[in-house]
Structure 1
């Protein structure tokens, strides 16, 4: 059965990627198809799915800025949206109860409130997956979206504890002493090296210390993994650990998406109910757009944040499962929520994929919603009179910037979307501005720049580099362009877009090493006769 399930997942995932949808939508369809074929789910699938979510929250914690959650655009947006969206969903369900004569809607007002609350949440799993694929986890709009989702997760923990009628034990107060554990965790990471022991160290901290420790204290295990990620986020090897666990986490999450589709076989009435719930998504998204725009976010940032959250959450499945186990809901609702979540993912995926195109089509209508005060982290990008612009100030971008300064002097500007990294570069004396290379407004302004001669695309995300290359070509920006890539097919894709120099980081690293060694060791190349 396991081989068949893997075949289903690969086949549907590959097919959906061919039409521009994320593979996760294919995994959802694979789960439904596997279930409809009458096959039995393999043992341990739910365990794998739970492990994937736990590791996902741990990886979020590794990149989470705790202070950022205290910013009004995060906590206030999450709180206001939860109240307004829950009220709206309850009202819509109440109207449906009186309009449609269906046994599915023969539920109490208290149950309607629970369903409305569950449908007010957006999916952390889906949003993180999409943002990771686009390379926008550290973009400002990505941080706002993830921050709102984290706040929703905290609301969920409180609700689950109350709905199950259990309260954490007095031992739960021990979590207040967790900062004292940080030196021990840091020491473990230092001792683990960089190989397989390092990966096991990360799994031990996430699952052993975090998830299992919180479970013993009567707290949500997933919350424990998130807290442990936050605890070690400041360690120099935190980013390395996130990369090391990435493939393992991705594989476990396949089990999560497959398990959603295996909840049961839907009837036509259940499918119709799920479709009607998905028709409410535009209203839920409009609430997000109106709320986040009140905190000084530009129309583009507000729209991209909203599109990342335009879906229903897997948390709805958890709420439905608890309600079914307590006899509050009929078992049919568990399958309805599963179908609704799956359909919302399928609808949200293309919206996120083509978010910039959607912004271009709607920018004129969205600008009136902007406030006069612009958020300091969302100001328009201004590179001044720079002759050279470097996008992505990571290690490669920084090296390129420093080399270009030796050639062009002060006429070099770096663009980076991580505020903390921008501050570090400015402290080091570099001319770096905060901005997102996928900002359509910026490229339209750059089109009119008469000083620009050279652009370097050094972003770690290939999607980001491809988007920038498309903008340069489509807008007819006349300058030389160089870009980095990780694989030969990515190099070919960049060349097809008119990039004059696409640098394969891995393939050409050896050449760079030899050239550096020849200069550093004062070696001279042998003459043809000596060779």
Structure 2
């Protein structure tokens, strides 16, 4: 890849970062800048883009539970949205076709329906990256969202089978044997150790899964995701995901750059792409209506719908197929590329302050909630929680262990990941499932006996949001948090944290010991 690619990507990414927006928007912009300067995509960039997507889906699979995909809100939610959206948007496009509006005039009823189908999908790459960076993959809304994305991937495979006649090989049935190969993966991961061989093992498994599914005529990206899910329960799955994180983020830059190389737009193309983007609020509203009718809470429905409110790169594949079959004008490929890029920008901007947005509008949104809650949405509350630790990862568990030796049953831990909580309960720890950024959760939580809340979550944005939710719930006790970098300390203090500990210089035990000192001082 030419150095100019790296230079433009760095300049655009840094410039956008300085404005407070996600760098991926800058990488999208860099692709169009390079295209404008006369550069073309090459095999190296395409390979990086493909590797980035494969690694991303594999690492997400490492965090998923197959049972989450079989839930009613995922199966019915994805199916109902697809059916209603396709009918509704097809009618809109057909009406524009009859009126002879712009590029719609050359369409047929068939192409109207296929493009509506393509626009029903949400971007796996964009959404998973946003959820991963905000640490919300394992939250309730994160799991619902990823479940919907996986179902959409399955619909995509079925479409390609019908449209391209790409029927999976009879050998695809042999993929079921992968469920019985889990002991082999366990041995391989254990023998890989903790050094440089571990990320190489991740590359081997992810790319191997991709190639294996491709060999039998099934979408390779889906294979990487499924292979990740099969080894998700292994004790080293979290370590493997972290080992691949930097590679994944670097390679994904290639994907975002490649979108800009599709083509350069003119005024008519831009106007058509913008018109498609005006449909995004409909997509959001449809998801929200379906989720609330399926008894999801207003907050879960709002956050899931908001992050799903974009278009997918899969739409480019569908349109390219129609163009090759001479069923659609080639300019539609450019239109979809622009619409997809704008939708990424829309999601990144809107989701950045999504939790604060919900707090402002929750009274109106909660009117749409179903009166009966799902089992997963009924949270228990601790008794005598003198100290509450939010985030039961490595630091949180270390702090819990040190504090429990002194305060015993007056220490509670909380995490948004129910699987992690279930494991900790089996080990005898007092823990509960809860999302610290959930305003509804804190409104129904009795904080009158809690003297210290310790925030042991990795994201500075999450810590800031949780601190704001605590103060909004009139919590007057001490808030202690961790920071990974020095420049985050001041930000967290401004957000309302009373004490901030450096993650790299003060481990969980030190975090707990200083918190005990503050607890003793509060009693004087």
State the TM-score bracket (shorter-chain normalisation).
Answer: over 0.9
TM-score by length of 2: 0.93
Q: Which residue of 2 aligns with 1:5?
A: 5
Would the alpha carbon gap of residues 232 and 94 (structure 1) be closer, same or farther in structure 2, given more than 3 Å must change?
A: same
The answer to whether the 8 A contact 1:169-1:218 is kept is yes
**Which residues of 2 match residues 155-166 of structure 1 at below 5 A?**
155-166=155-166
Deviation at 1:19, TM superposition (A): 2.4
Q: Distance in 1 between matches of 2:294 and 2:459?
A: 28
CA distance in 2, matches of 1:260, 1:167: 28
Checking the alignment, whether the CA contact within 8 Å between 2:209 and 2:223 is kept in structure 1 is: yes
Shift of 1:510: 11
Is 1:374 the equivalent of 2:373? yes
Does the CA contact (< 8 Å) of 1:454 and 1:479 recur in 2?
yes
8 Å CA contact 2:398–2:508 kept in 1: the answer is no
Asked if 1:486 corresponds to 2:476, the answer is: no
Deviates more, 1:468-477 or 1:168-177: 468-477
Deviation per residue, 1:167-211 (Å, 9 max, x gap): 12222221122223322222222222222222111111111x211
* 2:213 is equivalent to residue 224 of structure 1: no
Taking the aligned partners of 1:478 and 1:172, their CA distance within structure 2 comes to 59
Change (3 A) 1:192 1:410: closer
Q: Rate the CA distance shift 1:103–1:55 in 2: closer, same or farther, 3 A.
A: same
8 Å CA contact 1:69–1:75 kept in 2: the answer is: yes
Q: Deviations over 1:312-347 (max 9, x none)?
A: 111111111122222222211111110000001111
The 8 Å contact of residues 135 and 463 in structure 1, kept in 2 or not, is answered as: no
Distance 2:85 2:17 in 1: 32
In structure 2, the partner of 1:528 is none
The whole-number CA distance in structure 2 between the counterparts of 1:364 and 1:502 is: 33
From the superposition, tell whether residues 234 and 386 of structure 1 become closer, same or farther in structure 2 (CA, over 3 Å): closer
Aligned residue runs from structure 1 range 19-98, under 5 A: 19-98=19-98
**Correspondence for 1:460:** 458
Any conservation in 2 of the 1:134–1:461 contact (CA below 8 Å)? yes
Give aligned pairs, total: 512
Distance in 1 (CA, whole Å) between partners of 2:223 and 2:430 is 40
The answer to whether the 8 A contact 1:20-1:350 is kept is no
Query: For residues 111-260 of structure 1, what are the structure 2 equivalents within 5 Å?
Result: 111-207=111-207, 209-260=208-259
Equivalents in 2 of 1:344, 1:332: separation in Å?
A: 18
Distance of aligned partners of 1:331 and 1:52 in 2 relative to their CA distance in 1, 3 Å threshold: same
1:101–1:351 CA distance, 2 compared to 1 (3 A): closer
Greater shift in the superposed pair: 176-185 or 478-487: 176-185
TM superposition score normalised by structure 1: 0.92
Counterpart residue number, 1:350: 349
| CA separation of 1:501 and 1:95: change in aligned 2, threshold 3 A | same
Question: Given that residues 93 and 104 in structure 2 are in contact (C-alpha distance below 8 angstroms), is that contact kept between their aligned partners in structure 1?
Answer: no
RMSD, matched Cα: 2.1
CA contact (8 A) 2:399 2:508 kept: no
The alpha-carbon deviation at position 36 of structure 1 amounts to: 1.5
Conservation of the 8 A alpha-carbon contact between 1:274 and 1:340: yes
Q: Which moved more, 1:328-337 or 1:225-234?
A: 225-234
Alignment partners' CA distance in 1, 2:50 and 2:498: 46
User: Which is worse superposed, 42-51 or 247-256?
Assistant: 42-51
* 1: CA distance, partners of 2:270 / 2:212: 40
SS at match of 1:386: coil
Q: Match of 2:499?
A: 501
Residue in 1 that maps onto 2:319: 320
Identify which range, 309-318 or 489-498, moves more after superposition: 489-498
Query: Per-residue deviation at 1:465?
Result: 1.4
Q: Contact (CA 8 Å) 1:377, 1:419: kept in 2 or not?
A: no
CA separation of 1:271 and 1:381: change in aligned 2, threshold 3 A: farther
Shift of 1:292: 1.0
Q: 1:27 to 1:489 in 2, by over 3 A?
A: same
Unpaired stretches in structure 1, ≥5 consecutive residues: 516-531
Partner of 2:521: none
In 1, Cα distance between equivalents of 2:184 and 2:441? 45
Q: Per-residue deviation at 1:311?
A: 0.5
Q: Residue deviations 1:272-319, cap 9 Å, x none?
A: 011000001111111100111122221111101111101111111111
1:135-157 per-position Cα deviation (integer Å, ceiling 9, x unaligned): 10110110000101111011111
1:455–1:128 Cα change, 3 Å? same
Q: Please give the alpha-carbon distance, in whole angstroms, between the structure 1 residues aligned to 2:508 and 2:472.
A: 34
Give yes or no for the alignment of 1:310 onto 2:309.
yes
In 2, Cα distance between equivalents of 1:409 and 1:176: 47
Give the Å deviation of 1:230.
1.6
2:69, 2:147 within 8 Å by CA — same for their partners in 1? yes
The separation in 1 between residues aligned to 2:10 and 2:474, in whole angstroms, is: 39
